[in-house]
Amino acid sequence: MASGLGGLLGVGQKTKEQATSGLLGAARLESQQDIAQRSLEMQKEAGQQQLMGTAVGIGGAIGAKAAGVAVADTVAAAKAAGTTATIGAKAGAAAGAMAPPVLIALAAAALLNKLFD
């Protein structure tokens, strides 16, 4: 009877080892999947931020040309009035000319992010 009980205990311990090994393997696999999922989410966010940065750059480039024209127009209008254009007037003209292209580019980038989300 003693050998029967010892054999039964041995089988039980072996079963416990196999169960523990299986659970550890499943936990390891789940951990790897979580890491991969986080990595994908970070890559997606980086791509979205890159798209927004590119859009702002494009809008700024378009707006810079318009701002140069707006500042030149402000200076010409001041000269026609017999005064000099102040720095504030020039800055206001530049900002007013640059804002629409930048905002349009940002809106387009946000729309692209939503379309391909």
pLDDT in tens, 11-33: 888 898 988 988 999 999 999 99
Q: For the chain, what is the domain count?
A: 1
What is the Cβ-side half-sphere exposure of residue 1, based on CA atoms within 13 angstroms?
0
pLDDT of residue 42: 95
What is the Cβ-side half-sphere exposure of residue 3, based on CA atoms within 13 angstroms?
0
Q: How confident is the model at residue 1 (pLDDT cuts 50, 70, 90)?
A: very low
Residue 2 clears pLDDT 70, i.e. is over it? no
- pLDDT above 70 covers a percentage of the chain that reads 93
Q: How confident is the model at residue 40 (pLDDT cuts 50, 70, 90)?
A: very high
DSSP-derived secondary structure letter, 84: -
Spell out where the chain has E strands. none
DSSP-derived secondary structure letter, 116: T
Structural domain harbouring 58 = 2-115
Q: Would you state the structure tokens that stand for residue 29, as one six-digit string? A: 């696999």
DSSP-derived secondary structure letter, 83: S
Q: What is the rounded CA–CA span in Å between residue 87 and residue 97?
A: 15
- Position with higher pLDDT, 4 vs 91: 91
- Position with higher pLDDT, 5 vs 31: 31
